[in-house]
A and B are shown apart, each in its own frame.
Chain A
Amino acid sequence: MTLAVQGLRVELDGLPLVRDFSLQLTAGRVHAVVGESGSGKTIAALSVLGLEPHGAVVTNRPAAARAGLSMVLQEPLSALNPVLSVGAQLTETLLVHGHPASRAVELLAEVGISDGAERLRFFPHQLSGGQRQRVAIACALAASPKVLIADEPTTALDASMRNVILQLLRTLARERGLAVWLITHDLHAVRGASDEVTVMYAGLVVEQGATAHVLSAPRHPYTAALLASNPAANAPGRALPTIDGAVPLARELVGGCRFHPRCSRREARCTTEAPRLVDGVACHFPAGPPR
């Protein structure tokens, strides 16, 4: 195992942004963390990196986790320095981490930029969105990380580039023995792009397991509802299934299971007792047998 996070909690001004987050990353595999806005998926990753917001209190941060971790952000245009050439940004990271600057062209080749020697002279604005994200990934790889955290790496990209970048991350994981922590809001996008998946809701992990299992037979009612409401999963011409209500804010007190006010399967116990994560699902009445 490359990185284990156990019982991470992040509070800001007394409000729990992440209540209880655990995840295990393995070399060569992509682990997707999926959640809607406010689920705590990004803040959990930032806190592991030591980049939590000023004043936040982090409990159970893995010791010395920062070494060997690199991050790729959503918007490559703001992650790259606009006044530095691709070559300057890559060699800076390489030299800081004690690698020869000559590796820059190899790194670009690894992220699928074949004419690297020429591209080194380019500035970010001269590249397409997909190429910028490839350069941002190359910069992250320049530090030779064991773990690569990618936060919504395809949101700012065109639909036609989305799968290409996700596949690139998966290939890099396999070929470099890299553990990839992929953060996304789109449960459908992780289908072909990850080996394991963690589903978060309101600061908590509600379901965790092999992507193929979780997506084909979700056990938590939230995972099932999220999959069902996606336009991609529904034939046109009929109303889409929806989840009533909204995700509770960090300051909202919800007794028992935090999903119970929106749950179609809730019973009396759900309103009083918070379920624990057992066999990869945090629900008193999960669907189907344990995997």
Chain B
Amino acid sequence: MSVLLEARDVVVRYGNREAVKGVSLQLHRGERLGLIGESGSGKSSLARALLGLEPLAAGSVRFDGQPMHGAPPTLRRRFQPVFQDVGAALDPRMSIRSSLEEPFVIHRQPVAGLDALLAQVQLPPELLARFPSELSVGQRQRVNLARALALNPEALLLDEPVSALDVSVQAHVLNLLNALAASRALSFFVITHDLHVIAHLCTRVLVMFEGRLVEEGPVTQVLSAPRHAYTQQLIASR
């Protein structure tokens, strides 16, 4: 498998505080990689650094060999984020059609295939005329996904993709993500505190603690035989 995303010795600093203390990682093409760790461990800072949204105090992030920081839109659109806060990610004043057209407009692409885009996330085309407030939380999260998929990215960064959803809706979205990964050969970088989500979505997992990666390995191995004390505690508590 070739390397799609590579971080080398990434350091993110806020004033005197180092949130990410030298992290190196690789996401391969078609791979589904998970990142677990508790709040304050630096997960979100690392995620923003990987997307090129957080200035680096040291190190580098490359996507398909090119630096993510200061990258042109043509590179950025190949690696799309889907964030946790389902409510805040869609503009309440915009119809679903406008929300889905926006990525095409921003990247100066002809708007095409909105019906097919909704079909991919198992939503009917009638929803295009609706507004976010008229959709259930699960439907809104699927629209977010459809938006992220609009420009055919090669990788998705999924930050707590199901933690705001009800249990019965979580199952739908996890199934959908697995189906999409298989049918479109997408790579996932999944950030979550939920080990079950990692078990169902990912093949390899990284464990972050106090700004550093402390453990890495195949999901089955890390979840069944964790080596680091923090991972052991996390797994014992689930």
- Chain A contacts to B: CB under 8 angstroms: 36-37, 129, 158-164, 185-187, 225-226, 229-232, 234, 236, 239-243, 246-247
Contacts and interface: CB of A to CB of B under 8 A. Distances in A.
Interface of B: 38-39, 136-138, 166-172, 174-175, 178, 193-197, 199-200, 219, 233-234, 237-238
Contact of B168 (A225, A234, A236): A225
- Which DSSP category, helix, strand, loop or mixed, fits chain B's interface? helix
Contacts, number: 71
22 contacts: A37-B137, A37-B166, A158-B193, A159-B194, A160-B234, A161-B237, A163-B237, A185-B166, A187-B167, A226-B167, A229-B167, A230-B196, A231-B194, A231-B199, A232-B238, A236-B199, A236-B219, A240-B171, A240-B174, A240-B175, A241-B171, A243-B171
B95 to A, nearest CB: 20
A185 B170 CA distance: 12
A159 B237 contact: yes
- Which DSSP category, helix, strand, loop or mixed, fits chain A's interface? loop
Given A159-B234, A236-B200, 12 more contacts: A158-B39, A159-B238, A163-B237, A187-B167, A229-B170, A230-B196, A231-B170, A231-B196, A231-B197, A234-B200, A239-B178, A246-B138
A161 B199 CA distance: 20
Given A159-B237, A160-B233, A231 B171 contact: yes
A246 to B, nearest CB: 5
Contacts of B166: 36-37, 185, 247
A243 B219 CA distance: 27
Contacts of A234: 200
Contact of B175 (A236, A242, A247): A242
Contacts of A231: 170-171, 174, 194, 196-197, 199-200
A159 B195 contact: yes
Contacts of B136: 246
A242 B122 CA distance: 14
A159 B174 CA distance: 19
B175 A36 contact: no
B175 to A, nearest CB: 5
Contact of B237 (A37, A160, A232): A160
A243 B172 CA distance: 8
Contacts of A162: 237
